[in-house]
Amino acid sequence: MAFSWKFSFYKRFRFQIIYRIILLVLLLFLFTYLIFQTRLYATIFIVGLLIIYLVYSIFKFTERTNQELSRFFDAVKYEDYSQSFGKSGLGGSFNDLHKAFAEVIQKIQATRSEKEEQYHYLQNVIQHIGIGLIAFHPQGEVEFINSAAKKLLRVNQLKSIRSLSNINPVFVEKLFQLKSGDKTLIKFQEKDELLHLVIHATMFRLKGDLVTLISIQNIRGELEEKEMEAWQKLIRVLTHEIMNSITPISSLASTTNDMLDVKHGSAQSAEVEPDTLEDVRNAVKTIHRRSEGLLKFVESYRSLTRLPKPDFQIFEIQELFDRVEQLMQSKLNEKKIAFKAEVYPSSLELTADPELMEQVLLNLMLNAVRAVEKTAEGRIEMVAYLNERGRVLIQVTDNGFGIPEDIQDTIFTPFFSTDKNGSGIGLSLCRQIMRLHGGTISVQSVTNGKTNFILRF
């Protein structure tokens, strides 16, 4: 349609110019004839005025067309689509021109609107996706960063990748070393949270410049969950096999012991030396006692695979702290350990299973008591508050002997314990309970200094 309008316009435009030129030539011939052949001065004057007017109209007609074309191209160049190209009142050719201009502008506007809709759609997808995305130039200037990356790195705005050096310089160095298709895993402590970041990188060109696009995801929770699943499977197999082997031994030892007791009081026991009979009885009792102890040991580990499903309730954390303090009060007084519990704000609430959370805090409190019992001025603190991301955090802190850095990642492993009398299931149980609540547990500790266990919901 626009093509037919433009063709019609150009056809009319050419006609208008030819028509005016022919008329001008005829008037010039007439003007020359009147001057040389007649003395009609009034007619000569009128024809002269007509010639001047016709020349002016040709220039005006051409100039107006050029002005309209210039206005149209300026509108396209500067994306000024508010320009109006309605009827000009200058004739059909100009009306066709304006009509064609208006249609082109409308099509450009429609295409632009479609592009803007696609842009906003992609922006919304990028901002709402759960994986962090950052695009940056070789010098570190950030092209864009989505909400997930801001939340993960705890930044409101990011203009340069280099400004992340205050979080972890090694992290920034790794980002600059990444090539297209590279994948790496980085672990570091970011304030109160341990991050296990898996990073994928790709490169593309934007407006002629090379841009690196990285995706960042914290997989700490997934790693812990897979690790716990593996340990649970191992524990199920071990407990099954050990129980199958120990149960008959314990039963036979008990039966043999009962038979020896009966024999000891009978006349038939005279055939056996009393000392020998006593040694056999003691050996059987030892087998029975140790097998019973082993059964209890195995049963304690089965608790890791038999945790009940959390009964989620909304309750005030202060009430939970009060119950834990009441249960631990006698032991704290006995060991002369100072204790303080604080909640910010005091009405802070938590959605969790109160019984399971009480078990977690009791385990951490018992560990803290053992850590500070040999300290001159032992102190334990429990604090609950909201962090920068609006998540509830509970911290159990002591000033005991601390945990060496090289085993801080190992203390949550089943069977591992720094206490020679410990079973190695307390912290594993805590991690399992926190996983059931969709949370995490981590530790920050300095040898011979403060130890801080953090429950993050």
Could you tell me if 94 and 19 lie in one domain? yes
**Domain finish residue from 218, 248, 283:** 218
Sheet holding 209-218, edge to edge: 142-145, 132-136, 209-218, 193-206, 183-190
Question: Are 381 and 442 in a shared domain?
Answer: yes
Q: Has residue 113 been placed in a domain?
A: no
Same domain, 335 and 238: no
Q: Is 61 inside a domain boundary?
A: yes
At position 296, the amino acid (one-letter code) is K
Q: Name the percent of the chain lying above pLDDT 70.
A: 67
Residue-wise pLDDT for 348-382, tens only, equals 999 999 888 998 898 899 888 888 887 888 899 99
CATH number, position 321: 3.30.565.10
How far is CA 381 from its chain centroid?
31
Return the residue matching tokens 């909640």. Answer: 343
CATH code of the domain in which 213 resides? 3.30.450.20
Residue 270 has pLDDT above 80, yes or no: no
Query: Which tokens go with 289?
Result: 């006692």
Structural contact between residues 305 and 436, judged by C-beta atoms closer than 8 angstroms = no
Residues 272, 206 share a domain: no
Question: CA separation (Å) from 36 to 29, 45, 327?
Answer: 11, 14, 131
* Domain residue limits at 431: 313-456
pLDDT, position 14: 67
Q: Which of 96-105, 179-188, 323-332, 333-342 has the lowest mean pLDDT?
A: 96-105
Instruction: Show the CA angle centred on residue 359, arms to residues 358 and 360, nearest 5°.
Output: 90
Tell me: do 324 and 452 sit in the same domain: yes
What average pLDDT does the segment 13-29 reach?
79
Q: Is 372 exposed, middle or buried (0-12, 13-18, 19+ CB in 10 A)?
A: buried
C-alpha angle 399-403-406 in degrees, rounded to nearest 5: 155
Residue 164 has a CB neighbour count (10 Å cut-off) of: 18
Conformation bin of residue 390: beta by default, left when phi > 0, alpha when psi is -120 to 50:
left
User: Scanning the structure block, which residue is given the tokens 């008591």?
Assistant: 369
124 in a structural domain: no
Q: Quote the pLDDT of residue 13.
A: 62
Q: What is the pLDDT of residues 423-449, one digit of tens each?
A: 567 787 888 888 888 888 888 887 777
Q: Tell me whether residue 111 is in a domain.
A: no
Whole-angstrom Cα distance, residue 112 to residue 90? 31
Please tell me whether residues 322 and 441 are part of one structural domain. yes
pLDDT, tens digit (0-9, with 9 covering 90-100), for 406-426: 787 778 776 666 666 655 677
Place of tokens 């009430």: 319
| 385, pLDDT greater than 90 | yes
227 and 214 share one domain: no
* Overall average pLDDT of the 73-93 stretch: 60
Please count the structural domains in the chain. Answer: 4
The per-residue pLDDT for 2 is: 46
The answer to whether residues 42 and 62 belong to one domain is yes
Taking the C-alpha atoms of residue 137 and residue 283, their distance in angstroms, rounded to an integer, is 76
- Say if residue 171 is in the same domain as residue 265: no
5/392: higher pLDDT: 392
The pairing of strands 183-190 and 193-206 is antiparallel
Asked if the structure places residue 98 within a domain, the reply is yes
**pLDDT reading at 328 higher than 70:** yes
Residue 116 in domain: no
Pairwise CA distance, residues 95 & 82, whole Å: 18
**Rg over CA atoms, the chain:** 44
Which helix (H) or strand (E) segment holds residue 200: the answer is strand 193-206
- The gap between the terminal CA atoms of the chain, to the nearest Å, is 64
Geometric angle at alpha carbon 152, from 129 and 386, rounded to 5°: 115
Residue 119 lies inside a defined structural domain of this protein: no
The DSSP line for 351-391 is EE-HHHHHHHHHHHHHHHHHHHTTSTT-EEEEEEEE-TTS-
Give the β-pairing of 379-386 and 392-398. Answer: antiparallel
Mean pLDDT of the chain: 76
Same structural domain, 321 and 452: yes
- Look at residue 114 and tell me if it is in a domain: no
Which of 218, 252, 281 is the C-terminal boundary of a domain? 218
Whether residue 332 is found in the same domain as residue 444 = yes
| Amino acid in position 452 | N
Supply the pLDDT for residue 342.
93
End residue of a domain, out of 305, 332, 354? 305
Place of tokens 């949550």: 412
Amino acid letter at 359? Answer: Q
Task: With cut-offs at 50, 70 and 90, classify the pLDDT of residue 264.
Answer: low
Within 395-425, residue ranges assigned H as helices are: none
Q: Compute φ and ψ for 133, nearest 5 degrees.
A: -130, 130
- For residues 190 and 227, state if they share a domain: no
pLDDT at 21: 84
Task: Answer yes or no: is pLDDT of 223 > 80.
Answer: no
DSSP symbols for 122-170: HHHHHHHSSSEEEEE-TT-BEEEE-HHHHHHHT-S--SBGGGGGGT-HH
